[in-house]
Structure 1
Amino acid sequence: MYEVLIVVYLLVAIGLIGLILIQQGKGADMGASFGAGASGTLFGSGGSGNFLTRSTAILAIGFFTLSLIIGNLSANHAKDDKAFDDLSSTAEQVVEEVPATNPASESEIPD
């Protein structure tokens, strides 16, 4: 099920990117650049939204919903990896020698 959600998530993301790229901006009209009266309204000169803006909103809601679902599934996913249970063999291989400090060098302060 996780893999199916990832594929659907990818398709929604690609669809969302495509819909956003083919839309025309609200200020891209010729009348809006010269200060037409309808461009200063609440929703702009195009009205409340057409098919592209509504489908973009639906895909955005789906994208965020799928993000939350996939995040919840991956957070609760338990790994069976027991790599950090026994670290004694690797600890014996790495041996660091700590150099002894010279007490005479600590008392000498350069001028």
Structure 2
Amino acid sequence: MSTEFTILLVVQIISSFSIIVLVLLQQGKGADMGSAFGSGSAGSLFGATGAANFLSRATKWAAVVFFVATIGLAYLGNLSNSSPDAGIMDGFAPNSSVPTVPAAPSSSVPSGVSGNSVPSSSEAAN
């Protein structure tokens, strides 16, 4: 793993947690005025755009940083693939420490089973 990949991964994790915290701290558009008028639909009274405060601006920039880090991680992840048809697992070697399963016996009839395994009516009566 390269240093750039690690830095972008840390930036993406920090920005994702900051987006979560910032969104949870914000109130809805009609939370204050809706309670004053007795309903929750008072947000349309001020139009679709509201005043952008610090939390909404910080959320916007945290989202921009998150998406830039995501694009950077995707770019760095695709640099390691030499061919366009290469899969994710192409760079890994198979694990040789896995035990092999023994071959099945060639006989189709298991040992210990005779030709007539169903008891006759005279044997079942005894």
User: In structure 2, what is the Cα distance between the partners aligned to 1:36 and 1:94?
Assistant: 66
Q: 1:69-104: per-residue Cα shift (whole Å, max 9, x none)?
A: 2123224435754337xx7x979x323316638xxx
User: In structure 2, what is the Cα distance between the partners aligned to 1:10 and 1:21?
Assistant: 17
User: In structure 1, what is the Cα distance between the partners aligned to 2:13 and 2:98?
Assistant: 40
The structure that is helix-richer by fraction is 1
User: In structure 1, what is the Cα distance between the partners aligned to 2:40 and 2:102?
Assistant: 77
Spell out structure 1 runs of 4+ moving beyond 6 A: none
Q: Give 1 or 2 for the bigger CA radius of gyration.
A: 2
* Aligned residues between the structures: 93
User: In structure 2, what is the Cα distance between the partners aligned to 1:36 and 1:28?
Assistant: 7
Alignment match, 1:64: 67
Alignment match, 1:74: 77
Q: TM-score, normalised by structure 1?
A: 0.61
Alignment match, 1:100: 108
- RMSD (Å), alpha carbons: 3.2
Which residue of 54, 73, 80 corresponds with 2:57? 54
Residues 1-111 of structure 1: pairs in structure 2 closer than 5 A: 1-29=4-32, 31-33=33-35, 34=38, 39-40=43-44, 41-43=47-49, 47-77=50-80, 81-83=92-94, 93-97=100-104, 100=108
Percentage of pairs with the same residue: 29
Contact 2:12–2:69 (8 Å) recurs in 1: yes
| Structure 1 gap ranges (5+) | 102-111
Alignment match, 2:112: none
Q: 1:10-48: per-residue Cα shift (whole Å, max 9, x none)?
A: 21112212211211111311x2243599621222xxx24
| Structure 2 gap ranges (5+) | 82-89, 110-126
